[in-house]
Structure formats: structure tokens, C-alpha cells
């Protein structure tokens, strides 16, 4: 049975520039075959059991051949799977997508093409250069600058007579040739030229000069591939229209926890940041509970909603119900825990935001009778450090997908606005086995600080107010001061 292949354009680099249809195809994919320049955050759109195959090509280095890529594409489709071939930019613009489509037709495999935004357009916009401008550039022309041999030589006579904007992709190796070929044919040496490196990616850089000076400037600034070369009068608008590189968090990489409403990531992205997100650990594995007789217990502390749910399952297993808890003093920690237990019709003896609160620890030390604590494996250590009661671990917490699309070295700053995000960050850091301890972390509130300090994190910066806007402002302040100190 034949599967189905989607040739999807990932866009130029900014994660949010993929189309809605492209994002949906990623969510549905059984197999993802992706290129080097694809934003790694797009990999997180896939389901946990999606097979990911990297086929990136690095210039002047051994890599997977195009023939091999097409073999894999065909083989996976013939296994009856939904295959996404994710290509940077647009599949049909210097991406060999047409060749892959031909191969699929020859093999009788159904396919579709999901267009993507090419860097030839988006890259210019992110550097403040309009591709066209009335009375200045009424046309644009896009060329490959990656000329392997004489058979691929461009028609420089024709190009030198073109009006409008010239854009060369993959042309850094041939920058001098491009400039010389145009100037020798009468192209004005004063024509504005820009180079945009890693267009729309967090590490985007751009410079501008003239046709006769750009080679020297590129060497001075050490501009490298992947870069766009833009030639034409529209480059002169760069200083006026370059809004993106002036955003307060432009070029900054920030890690947050993935949330359903994504308010914080949106605020950070709108300020120019590239945001990486780690998923909440959603894989909960029940542990076998062996609790004392409930009649022998006087008090019960629940630290999280899942511990309560696993406790209720334990009661059912023991043929008990909530009536057997009527004599217990039940304490809940955390907003969601409190809400979950109250919805079950339980009246709480006490409720707190975090077990580490000084007043709460004092109150608990004065309690008489037998108390037990129900918690998860990730909170067990922190709870044991402040409360001297028997602890029973109801479940372990794990990430559904432990393949993270970033590394500690990619991240400049971490934002953890609540204690839950802090717990999950600590767990994620342990899973990656990378050095996160030196990373600066923007936090909100004493509970978050407590969780992180106990885990050995001390480069903590608290927002002025307990709002997400204040967290975003704290990020901007941090980077501004860092730049001032350089």
C-alpha cells in the first residue's frame, strides 16, 4: 500500500513563517525528512512517534546524495506512511523539489507541494529592503549563485541589462565573480549592494555597501554562507526601513516552557526574540503505592494534581472512596492542586502556593499526629528538604518526546515565570545532561526562586512585577545591560 508524500516549504528560518497547511502536515507526519537550514523548533510540531531523518547538506563536505534522499522518500512512502519532506524556503525554488516530485510520479506515489516563503523575499524584508518600490524597482530577478561548472554559467550579458532588483542565493563563494561580471559589462559601480547572512534566523547579520566595495566589506565582516546577495537601488532603503534588526530582543535566543496559550512566547517573539520551548512532561507513570491504613493517618499533604488523581485511583483499587477520608486533615499545595481537590468535594484543612513557604513549614512542624505526603518523583527531593514527614511517591514524570530540538549552547536566557515551569526545567536539564547551571534565568516569585536555588541554579533575575509583560521587560533590560558592559 502506497503512502503519501508532502513536499513542504519550511520558510526561510523564522519558525512562524511556515504556512498553516505546512504546520498541519508536520503534525500528521509519520516520517519527517528534513534539511540543514530548517528551524529545529519545527521538529517539535511532530507527534512523539514520528520518525525523523536528517539529510542536510553542508557546503564542501560529504553529505547524503540527492539520489539517496529520493530513495528514502520512496521507501518510506511505500511502507504506507505519511511522509513530509521538509525543505527550507520553497520546495520549487532552488530546492530540487521538482526532481523529487518527478521521482514520486515515476514510482506511482501520490504527493502534494505545500509552498513556502523563499528567503529571497522574506530575507530582504527582515533586513529592511523592499524587493520592489514604485519608480525605483518595478521588477525583481532571483538567481542561484551556486555555480558548479561552466555548464551552469549565468547569462551575464542578459543580467547586466536587467532593470530592478537582483537577488543571488547561495552565492557567497562567487561574490567577487558576480560583482566583476556585472561591472565589466557596465553596471554602475556605485549600485547599492547588501548581504544578509542567516536571513530570518536568530543569528541574522546584514551589511551594505557598493558594487565595487562589497567584496572587501564582506571579508572585513567575515560574512559567510548561507547568505543572500541583493543588488539594486532598493538597498538604500535599508537604514530607514530596517525595523526587524532594531527590535529590542533581535538576535536573542530565549527558552521557555511550552504552554497552551503561549502568551509569554508571543510577547518575546514580538520583541524580536527567537524562542525555543521545552514541552511540559506529560508522560505520567504510576508507581505501586503501599500506604499505611488510612485510619492510622491524621493528615495528608498533596503537592500536585496528578498525585491526587493517583491517590484516588489507589482508593478505588482498595475498594474505598472519599468517605474514608472524612477524618483526615488534607492540605493542598499549588493552585491547580487546590482546584482539583475542591472539585472532588473535599474541604481542605489548609492550602498554600508552595511547600517551601516559611510560614507553612512552621505550621506543619507544630502539627500533631501522623502525617504523610503524596508527591511526584520530581518534587520528592525538594519536599524532603523542608518537611520531615513520610513521603510516598505516587508517580514518575517523563517527557513524551525526549528528543530536544535545541542545546544549552543555543540558549542565551531562560524564562521561568512559575514554580511548575521551574520544576519541569530542572527535569529537562537533567534529561539533556548539558550544562544549564550557568544560564541566566528570569523568574517571577519566591516559589520559583526556591525551586531553582535548591536545584543548584543561582543566576536568577526577578521581574519587577508578577506579570508576563514584566518578565518580557526584564529580558530586554538584561540584554541591554549586557550590551552596555561589552
Catalytic residue ranges: 35, 57, 170
> What are the sequence ranges of the domains in the chain?
4-117, 120-246, 253-280+401-485, 284-398
- pLDDT attached to residue 151: 45
Question: Which has more pLDDT, 340 or 398?
Answer: 340
Q: Is the pLDDT of residue 152 over 80?
A: no
Distance CA(132)–CA(125), nearest Å, equals 11
What's the average model confidence in pLDDT over 379-405?
82
Over the stretch 346-361, which tens digit does the pLDDT of each residue have?
A: 999 999 887 877 888 8
Over the stretch 103-141, which tens digit does the pLDDT of each residue have?
A: 999 999 999 999 999 999 999 999 999 999 999 999 999
pLDDT band at 334 (very low <50, low <70, confident <90, very high): confident
Calculate the CA 181 to chain-centre distance.
41
Q: What CATH topology corresponds to 284-398?
A: Rossmann fold (3.40.50)
Name the nearest CA neighbour of 332 among 324, 342, 323, 322: 342
Q: Is the pLDDT of residue 301 over 90?
A: yes
Residue 475 is inside which H or E element, if any?
A: helix 468-485
Local structure of 113: helix, strand or coil:
strand
Calculate the CA 122 to chain-centre distance.
19
pLDDT band at 450 (very low <50, low <70, confident <90, very high): confident
Residue in the block written with cell 529590542: 248
Over the stretch 457-466, which tens digit does the pLDDT of each residue have?
A: 999 999 999 9
Prior bond of 333 cis (ω within 30°): no
Q: Is the pLDDT of residue 456 over 50?
A: yes
Q: What is the reported pTM?
A: 0.77
Q: Is the pLDDT of residue 400 over 80?
A: no
Q: Is the pLDDT of residue 189 over 50?
A: yes
From the options 3.40.640.10, 3.10.180.10, 3.30.70.890, 3.40.50.10090, give the CATH code of 253-280+401-485.
3.40.50.10090
Q: Is the pLDDT of residue 149 over 90?
A: no
- pLDDT attached to residue 210: 98
Q: Is the pLDDT of residue 150 over 60?
A: no
pLDDT band at 259 (very low <50, low <70, confident <90, very high): confident
What's the average model confidence in pLDDT over 396-424?
84
Residues 137 and 165: beta-carbon distance below 8 Å: yes
Mean pLDDT of the chain: 91
CATH of domain 120-246: 3.30.950.10
Which cell numbers hold the place of 80? Answer: 504506507
Decide whether 253-280+401-485 matches 284-398 in CATH topology.
yes
- pLDDT attached to residue 385: 84
Backbone angles phi, psi at 73, to 5 degrees: -55, -50
Q: Is the pLDDT of residue 403 over 70?
A: no
Distance CA(258)–CA(28), nearest Å, equals 20
Give the Cβ contact number of residue 154 at 10 Å. Answer: 16
Q: For domain 4-117, say whether CATH 3.40.1010.10 is its number.
A: yes
Amino acid at each position: 500500500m502506497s503512502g503519501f508524500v508532502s513536499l513542504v516549504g519550511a520558510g526561510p528560518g523564522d519558525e512562524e513563517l511556515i504556512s498553516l497547511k505546512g504546520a498541519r502536515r508536520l503534525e500528521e507526519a509519520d516520517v519527517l525528512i528534513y534539511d540543514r537550514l530548517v528551524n529545529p523548533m519545527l521538529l517539535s510540531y511532530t507527534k512523539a512517534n514520528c520518525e525523523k531523518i536528517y539529510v542536510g547538506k553542508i557546503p564542501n563536505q560529504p553529505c547524503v546524495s540527492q539520489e539517496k534522499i529520493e530513495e528514502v522518500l520512496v521507501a518510506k512512502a511505500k511502507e504506507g506512511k505519511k511522509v513530509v519532506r521538509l525543505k527550507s524556503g520553497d520546495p520549487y525554488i532552488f530546492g530540487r523539489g521538482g526532481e523529487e516530485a518527478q521521482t514520486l510520479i515515476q514510482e506511482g506515489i501520490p504527493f502534494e507541494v505545500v509552498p513556502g516563503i523563499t528567503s529571497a523575499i522574506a530575507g530582504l524584508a527582515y533586513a529592511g529592503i523592499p524587493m520592489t518600490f514604485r519608480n525605483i524597482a518595478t521588477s525583481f530577478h532571483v538567481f542561484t549563485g551556486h555555480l558548479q561548472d561552466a555548464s551552469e554559467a549565468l547569462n551575464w550579458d542578459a543580467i547586466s541589462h536587467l532593470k530592478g532588483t537582483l537577488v543571488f542565493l547561495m552565492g557567497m563563494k562567487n561574490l567577487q565573480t558576480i560583482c566583476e561580471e556585472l561591472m565589466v559589462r557596465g553596471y554602475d559601480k556605485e549600485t547599492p549592494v547588501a548581504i544578509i547572512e542567516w536571513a530570518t534566523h536568530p543569528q541574522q547579520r546584514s551589511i551594505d555597501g557598493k558594487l565595487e566595495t562589497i567584496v572587501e566589506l564582506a571579508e572585513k565582516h567575515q560574512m559567510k554562507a548561507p547568505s543572500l546577495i541583493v543588488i539594486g537601488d532598493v538597498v538604500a532603503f535599508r537604514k530607514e526601513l530596517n525595523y526587524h534588526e532594531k527590535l529590542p530582543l533581535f538576535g536573542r535566543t530565549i527558552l521557555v516552557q511550552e504552554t497552551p496559550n503561549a502568551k509569554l512566547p508571543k510577547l518575546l517573539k514580538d520583541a524580536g526574540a527567537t524562542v525555543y520551548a521545552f514541552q511540559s512532561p506529560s508522560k505520567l507513570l504510576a508507581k505501586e503505592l503501599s500506604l499505611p491504613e488510612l485510619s492510622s493517618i491524621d493528615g495528608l499533604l498533596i503537592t500536585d494534581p496528578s498525585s491526587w488523581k493517583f491517590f484516588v485511583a489507589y482508593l478505588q483499587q482498595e475498594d474505598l472512596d472519599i468517605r474514608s477520608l472524612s477524618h483526615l486533615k488534607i492540605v493542598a499545595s499549588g493552585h491547580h492542586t487546590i482546584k482539583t481537590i475542591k472539585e472532588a468535594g473535599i474541604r481542605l484543612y489548609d492550602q498554600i502556593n508552595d511547600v517551601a513557604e516559611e510560614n507553612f513549614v512552621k505550621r506543619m512542624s507544630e502539627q500533631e499526629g501522623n502525617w504523610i505526603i503524596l508527591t511526584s518523583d520530581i518534587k520528592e527531593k525538594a519536599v524532603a528538604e523542608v518537611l520531615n514527614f513520610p513521603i510516598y511517591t505516587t508517580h514518575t514524570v517523563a517527557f513524551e518526546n525526549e528528543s530536544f530540538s535545541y542545546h544549552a549552547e543555543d540558549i542565551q536566557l531562560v524564562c521561568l515565570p512559575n514554580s511548575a515551569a521551574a520544576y519541569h526545567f530542572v527535569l529537562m536539564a537533567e534529561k539533556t545532561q548539558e550544562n544549564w547551571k550557568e544560564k541566566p534565568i528570569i523568574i517571577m516569585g519566591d516559589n520559583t526562586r526556591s525551586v531553582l536555588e535548591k536545584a543548584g541554579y543561582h543566576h536568577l533575575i526577578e521581574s519587577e512585577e508578577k506579570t508576563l509583560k514584566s518578565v518580557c521587560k526584564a529580558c530586554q533590560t538584561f540584554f541591554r545591560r549586557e550590551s552596555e558592559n561589552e
